[in-house]
Amino acid sequence: MKILFNLAWLSIMSRSGTAILTVFSITISVALLLGMEQLRQSMRNSFLQTVSGVDLVVGARGDAIPILLYSVFRLGDATNNLRWQSYLEWSADKRVQWTIPLSLGDSHKGYRVLGTNTDYWKYYRYGKNRKLDLKTGEFFDGLYEAVIGSVVADKLGYQLNQQIVIAHGVGSAALFEHDDQPFQVVGILKPTGTPVDQTIHVSLEAIEAIHIGWEDGFPSIEASNPALMNLTEIQPKSITAFLVGLNSKMHTFRLQGEINAFEKEPLSAILPGVTMQKLWKMMGIFEKTLMTMGALVILSSLTSLISLLLATLNERRREMAILRSVGAGPLTIFYLLWVEATLLCFVGIFLGFVFQYGGLIFVEPIIQDKLGLQIFLGWPGTKELLFFSWIMAFGMLISLFPAWRAYRISLHDGLIQ
């Protein structure tokens, strides 16, 4: 067997150019398939770990998925806000243990600004019931103080006591800056692998203060001159959404129905877990399409391997004749071609795994920066090893065909000599 491996390897080396192209094709296809699967699974896990222990998410009347996306994942924008009085009324309900108000709509250099209160630090959980911790500094206490996520601090190079200016709007819509009311960074959060890492946190009162005089969406003379503003008693007029934690899970569906039927204002209360499942169900067709395309790419690459071996069989008659002349039988030729194809498959699949992890390491900071989601990298698990086994087994199986063709050619040439 060792002699066969040596002969197969030498045969591959004699056609190194075509062998490298074939291995490269298999490598890229395997890396794409496994990379898409790893990316899909990591993003799902990251989504599921973004928020923990929240029973309801309440926003202005709308579809459940957009409410979940903009309130929890900072993706998209709310079509409407809800009144502060409505929030106070539901937060005072005896079935409610805690609430976290959220006010969105501003940004700083592409990163979302979230207005909230101190309950955010007390009750917000992510992953397996993990609380938010500071890397350095303290949580905001003053009006113009900000606590930033780890990605914001790393990407913008911010430290404590840094002065930052918040812009009105998000992305390309952030046309006006509140440069007359800068904020001071008083705390930097530890990494969480969630959208919290790319969020700037300020108080609700601060959000209200910087928007005094912005009733029409543009700054008025009063808003542009802080000296004219009375900041002694600032209370929010509206918020984007709020998170709810209940005293008992038994109240979840009843309270959800009551909020949805609220007569004073059209509201929507959604179940985060159920909405998440709905979101993944919608994405299921897209995921299956990607996996099918990846499988077809692998099939195409393995087919090119077989085509290469079949195309060179006639050119290798002299090689096989020499082997026959030194005592190699048709079965030896069969095993030689099969081992050669198997080696090419193995090298291509192995390099595919290596390229996959290298590619994910490269795109991980990009995805975390743009989406606030973390890719979980580690040693190949059972699923990856199963992928490896199935692809390898299929490659070995289809490699039997060129080996059988070589056997027939060798047998025929041996009979007519």
Q: Check whether 214 has a pLDDT greater than 90.
A: no
SS3 28: helix
Return d(Cα 253, Cα 271) in angstroms, integer.
9
Q: What is the pLDDT of residue 14?
A: 63
In this prediction, residues 221-229 reach a mean pLDDT of 46
- Token pair 């984007």 in the structure block, residue: 240
Quickly tell me which residue has 């940004």 as its tokens. 107
Query: What local confidence, expressed as pLDDT, does residue 233 receive?
Result: 59
- Say if residues 200 and 152 touch (Cβ distance below 8 Å): yes
Nearest to 234 by CA among 120, 107, 144: 144
Q: Which residue has the higher pLDDT, 413 or 190?
A: 190
| 105-139 residue pLDDT tens | 899 988 999 999 999 999 999 888 889 999 999 99
Alpha-carbon distance of 400 to 57, in angstroms, equals 58
| The two structure tokens encoding residue 144 | 């113009």
Report the Cα 92 to chain-centroid distance in Å.
36
């197969």: which residue's tokens? 8
Pairing of strands 163-164, 199-203: unpaired
Portion of the chain with pLDDT greater than 90, in percent: 34
For residues 127 and 376, what is the distance between their CA atoms, to the nearest angstrom? 13
Instruction: Match 């009347």 to its residue by tokens.
Output: 61
- Mean of pLDDT over the chain: 80
Contacts of 159 (CB under 8 A, 6+ apart): 153, 185, 188
Closest CA to 305 of 10, 18, 31: 18
pLDDT digits over 302-352, tens only?
777 777 767 666 666 666 666 666 666 667 777 777 777 788 888 888 888
Question: In whole angstroms, how far apart are CA 193 and each of 296, 365, 373, 379?
Answer: 33, 10, 6, 19
How far is the C-alpha of 356 from the C-alpha of 378, rounded, in Å? 12
Angle between helices 400-416 and 382-398 in degrees, nearest 10: 20
What are the boundaries of each domain within the chain? 2-47+284-416, 56-270
**For tokens 């299921």, what's the residue?**
284
Closest listed residue to residue 201, CA positions, set 218, 184, 213, 217 = 184
**pLDDT on residue 334:** 73
φ, ψ for residue 241, nearest 5 deg: -165, 175
